[in-house]
């Protein structure tokens, strides 16, 4: 929003801003914040930052847990959800050191910056353009309980197909029939409009929004593509605005990959473009889908490392309840033109050199977006450096519905992991590409794997009502 401190101070004075809110990112990708009077913004704060204890953010222990947050004025925006006038911004985290503070190497924004620096260093491109698609659900209420003696889940959703008797207005959407549903069935049209207006006001450009496939209020907002570091910040903004706008309307929003059994899940498909000196790297007149060799090698890297990528782009046990056949979510490792059953899809409508791209369809929004975008870039760069040809490895192109192939043919195609445990094992065995150029520190990867293994162990030990249904009478 601001190019310099003078602009920020003038805006604060002109708009009666009383507080500054600094947003920091923890290991899992949640925003945390610390707030101070707007009068504190000065040259010293911009240079020395504000100190905080980073030991509770989930990162690997460092020799000194005292950290410094340096605000990034370009990310500033007025928070629309506060009673007082609050200027919100994210920024960078440094380790306090002598003689000079240094960037905290595990901090998500710093990892993504190193990934884009590495891209420039090897000369492949100087800009990665990313375009995430955000799918989510809006529920009227959510109740859950997990006591040793009592488990329950109750999703309240007037739009859901199961609510015809309770609501009694006849406008519920049939199961898996919600794609582009119109009002009155689309009950949250005005709510999504407000979300999009707030995103635009924050500086996040919206491409469009609509109702998604899922009957119980599954929604999608797609933003315009942008430089990947900015889009990681924008991803955090989208989640913040979606959740808080829903709360303002007495609703609750979730980006959980699979909140409703038997319905479509929520992905975060990522469209990818590389440019060098302002020119597209991925276009060719005579390549498959008008993709260049460089683009195909990038795809080859994504597909080679897809199992280990899933540990970062799909880092929840719930993620793999979405990655099942029959719901337009990928389960096999392959690429194709205009084929939503492939993990890498080349949109047929993107024909011009500047728009030529592909999308990675497995990620979901339980990821830390900075780590996820950095890992996606590093996998693709590894494919370019090592000239990994996806066709040579039998990863496509698959110009057919992969879900409908005979079992004999399916068995010949590599598959994505079916659970978080297998994804974490893949990451343990395949992480060198992430460490290239010092992008992902080894202790960050170890911390991530250990953290997720503990989470997996905890969740896998909890009996579920479905298990009682299947096994109680045996």
Q: What is the DSSP letter of 184?
A: T
Helix, strand, or coil here: 195? helix
Closest alpha carbon to 290 in 338, 332, 228: 338
Q: CB 130: neighbour CB atoms within 10 A?
A: 26
Tokens, residue 160: 């859901």
- For residue 138, the SS3 value is strand
- Specify the residue for token string 């830390």: 368
Active site residues: 53, 133, 135, 212, 220, 269, 340, 359, 361
DSSP state of 347: -
| Cis? peptide before 184, omega within 30° of 0 | yes
Q: Give the torsion through C-alpha atoms of 346, 307, 433, 311, to 10 deg.
A: 110
Q: Which residues pair with 91 in a beta bridge?
A: 71
How far is the C-alpha of 66 from the C-alpha of 54, rounded, in Å?
6
CA distance 225 to 359: 12
Distances (CA, A) of 144 to 28, 216, 246, 253, 259: 22, 17, 19, 15, 12
> Kind and range of the H or E element at 468?
helix 465-471
| Cα distance between residue 322 and residue 327, in whole Å | 8
Our CA dihedral for 241, 254, 449, 445, rounded to 10 degrees, sits at: -20
Kindly report the number of other CB atoms within 10 A of residue 199's CB atom.
22
Cβ–Cβ < 8 Å for 23, 79: no
């Amino acid at each position: 929003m601001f190019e310099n401190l003078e602009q920020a101070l003038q805006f604060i004075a002109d708009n009666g801003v009383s507080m500054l809110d600094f947003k920091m990112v923890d290991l899992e990708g949640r925003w945390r914040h610390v707030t101070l009077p707007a009068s504190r913004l000065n040259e010293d704060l911009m240079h020395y930052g504000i100190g905080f204890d980073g030991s509770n953010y989930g990162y690997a222990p460092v020799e000194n847990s005292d950290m410094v947050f340096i605000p990034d004025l370009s990310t500033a925006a007025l928070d629309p959800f506060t009673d007082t006038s609050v200027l919100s911004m994210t920024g960078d985290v440094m380790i306090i050191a002598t003689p000079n503070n240094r960037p905290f190497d595990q901090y998500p924004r710093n990892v993504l910056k190193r990934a884009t620096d590495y891209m420039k260093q090897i000369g492949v491109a100087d800009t990665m353009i990313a375009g995430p698609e955000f799918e989510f659900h809006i529920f009227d209420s959510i109740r859950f309980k997990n006591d040793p003696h009592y488990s329950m889940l109750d999703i309240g959703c007037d739009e859901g197909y199961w609510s015809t008797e309770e609501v009694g207005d006849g406008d519920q959407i049939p199961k898996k029939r919600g794609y582009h549903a119109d009002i009155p069935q689309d009950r949250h049209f005005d709510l999504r409009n407000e979300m999009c207006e707030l995103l635009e006001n924050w500086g996040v450009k919206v491409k469009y929004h609509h109702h998604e496939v899922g009957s119980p209020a599954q929604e999608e907002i797609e933003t315009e593509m942008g430089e990947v570091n900015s889009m990681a910040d924008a991803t955090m903004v989208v989640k913040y605005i979606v959740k808080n706008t829903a709360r303002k309307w007495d609703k609750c929003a979730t980006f959980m990959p699979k909140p409703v059994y038997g319905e479509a899940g929520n992905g975060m498909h990522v469209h990818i473009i590389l440019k060098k000196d302002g020119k597209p790297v991925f276009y060719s007149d005579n390549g498959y889908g008008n993709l260049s060799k460089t683009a195909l090698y990038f795809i080859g890297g994504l597909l080679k490392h897809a199992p280990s990528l899933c540990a970062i782009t799909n880092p929840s046990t719930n993620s793999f309840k979405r990655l099942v056949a029959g719901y337009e979510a990928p389960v096999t490792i392959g690429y194709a033109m205009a084929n939503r059953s492939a993990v890498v899809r080349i949109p047929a409508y993107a024909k011009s050199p500047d728009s030529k791209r592909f999308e990675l369809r497995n990620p979901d929004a339980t990821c830390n977006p900075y780590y996820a975008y950095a890992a996606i870039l590093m996998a693709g760069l590894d494919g370019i450096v090592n000239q990994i040809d996806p066709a040579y490895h039998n990863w496509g192109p698959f110009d057919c519905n992969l879900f409908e192939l005979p079992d004999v043919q399916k068995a010949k195609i590599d598959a994505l992991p079916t659970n978080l445990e297998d994804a974490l094992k893949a990451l343990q065995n395949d992480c060198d590409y992430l460490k290239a150029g010092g992008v992902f520190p080894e202790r960050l990867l170890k911390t991530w794997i250990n953290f997720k293994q503990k989470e997996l162990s905890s969740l896998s030990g909890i009996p579920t009502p479905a298990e009682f249904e299947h096994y109680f009478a045996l």
